[in-house]
Amino acid sequence: MNKSVSSLFVSLWGSNPGFAISLYDKMFARAGVELAGGDPSRVHFAFASLERGPPLHLPAGIEVFPTAFDHSAASKAQLADYVRDRRIELVQLLDIDVTDPLSLVLRRAGARTILAYWGAPISGPQPRWKYPLKRLQVALSRSRLDGLIFESRAMAERAMRDRGVPAALVDIAPVLGVDAEWLRAPRSDYVHQHLGFPRHQRVAVFAGHVIRRKGIHILVEAAVELLGRRKRRDLAFLICGNRPGDCEKFTSIYAGKGLDEQIRFGGYRNDIKDIFCSAFCGVIPTTGWESLTLTAIEMAACGLPVVASRLDGLVEAVVDGKTGILFGTGDPEALADALEDLLDHPEKAALMGRNGRERCAVQFSRERQYHRYLAVLQRRLGAAPPAQRSAPRRTAAAVTVASQVGKNS
């Protein structure tokens, strides 16, 4: 595909959301600029909220839809005018339902290729009788996307099975990966020297949203099993990512058991790479859904064996018995057993860590992920029919990402 293309990326998140979401936008922006022949002014973003200010992670020159996109009829009409006025050809919608009529609105405004990127499940748990109705809804919908890009095979298979999404529309192209800096980072004693963990204790680390879906209660119950009932004194737990008020519901599980020094909540941190490079293992005990989580990739890139739930995209991130251990979802005793196995066999843990780092270098580098994703966009654009446009309309002025913001990204 040689012709340059203007693009719009619509996020259901607000600007500057933190965690891994900003990395999505960086990757989308990079692809948009390349598709536009290097011209960032032909790349556009829309956010569900601008309360946190202009996006700090986008390159200078990219335009931002001037108001929050809230899915109301008025907001959809404004977005359609925006697409028409700027002759936008490619629109990618983050986590948009396959039957959402927004695609029809954008198509009438001149968008030639409309895609959805899914990092979450396309459908939550439903009574079995609802799945045929959900599939029928997709089959009869007048709304049509040109493709759905999924972050993991598990999410793609769920969409095809539960919603009847045609396989011809499905691509799997995770955009989250690690750069060479993570893969080259040396092992260290950071958690002992700077965070004060005793040197005889090996540290199991979690990083992410501290919410029930992430299985924090399972992790804490496994910690109580190991530290309290099995009397392990050679292990400590560091749970990172909690915001004010997040951890009280979990600290109550071990309150009064004398385990406060071995189970710590570390908050939202900017030294997570240093923590991973000095921990003993990573733990991802998710009980809800999980796509191809960046945390699992970053842990492995730092040489950690990863102990994770046997669930969704975690099965793709962790090779059981080779780069880590998968345990039964929601089973704290199984998690405790897996951690104790690594404690009792440190050479096995070290080998898994080396295997995981090697696998990340080959399969999960940021460059590889980017080129896979870009290839999907190029292929879907090449399959689209020529655009048919009505006359441009005058729209509200857009916000351009300032040069200074671009320097800080």
Residue pLDDT, tens place only, 105-161: 999 999 999 999 998 877 667 788 888 888 898 888 888 899 999 999 999 999 999
For residue 57, pLDDT over 90 is answered with no
Residue among 286, 287, 291 at smallest CA distance from 118: 291
Mean pLDDT of the region 60-72: 94
Residue pLDDT, tens place only, 272-299: 999 999 999 999 999 999 989 999 999 9
306-309 sheet: strands from edge to edge: 263-267, 235-240, 202-207, 281-284, 306-309, 324-327
Instruction: Name the strand (E) or helix (H) holding 167.
Output: none
pLDDT at 397: 44
Q: Which residues pair with 400 in a beta bridge?
A: 63
Structure tokens at 345: 């066999």
Instruction: State the greatest distance between any 2 C-alpha atoms of the chain, in Å, as a whole number.
Output: 74
pLDDT at 385: 57
Query: Domains (ranges, CATH) in the chain?
Result: 7-177+365-408 (3.40.50.2000), 180-363 (3.40.50.2000)
pLDDT at 360: 96
Percentage, residues of the chain above pLDDT 70: 92
Q: What is the distance between the alpha carbons of residues 288 and 121, in angstroms, rounded to a whole number?
A: 10
pTM over 0.95: no
Q: What is the distance between the alpha carbons of residues 241 and 177, in angstroms, rounded to a whole number?
A: 19
**In this structure, are residues 300 and 277 in contact, taking their beta carbons and an 8 Å threshold?**
no
Structure tokens at 154: 């598990």
Residue 150, SS3 per DSSP: strand
Q: What is the distance between the alpha carbons of residues 224 and 128, in angstroms, rounded to a whole number?
A: 36
CA 76, 107, 4 angle in degrees (round to 5)? 110
Structure tokens at 326: 């998968």
**In this structure, are residues 304 and 276 in contact, taking their beta carbons and an 8 Å threshold?**
yes
The least confident of 9-13, 33-37, 186-190 is 9-13
Any residues with CB less than 8 A from the CB of 255 and at least 6 apart, and which? none
Give residue 115's identity as a one-letter amino acid code: L
Round the average pLDDT of the chain to a whole number and report it.
91
Residue pLDDT, tens place only, 231-260: 999 999 999 999 999 999 999 999 999 999
pLDDT at 142: 83
For residue 389, pLDDT over 70 is answered with no
Residue listed under structure tokens 């012709």? 3
Q: What is the distance between the alpha carbons of residues 172 and 174, in angstroms, rounded to a whole number?
A: 6
Mean pLDDT of the region 186-201: 97
Give the Å distances, CA to CA, from 327 to 206, 306, 310, 402.
15, 11, 5, 47
Structure tokens at 205: 């680390």
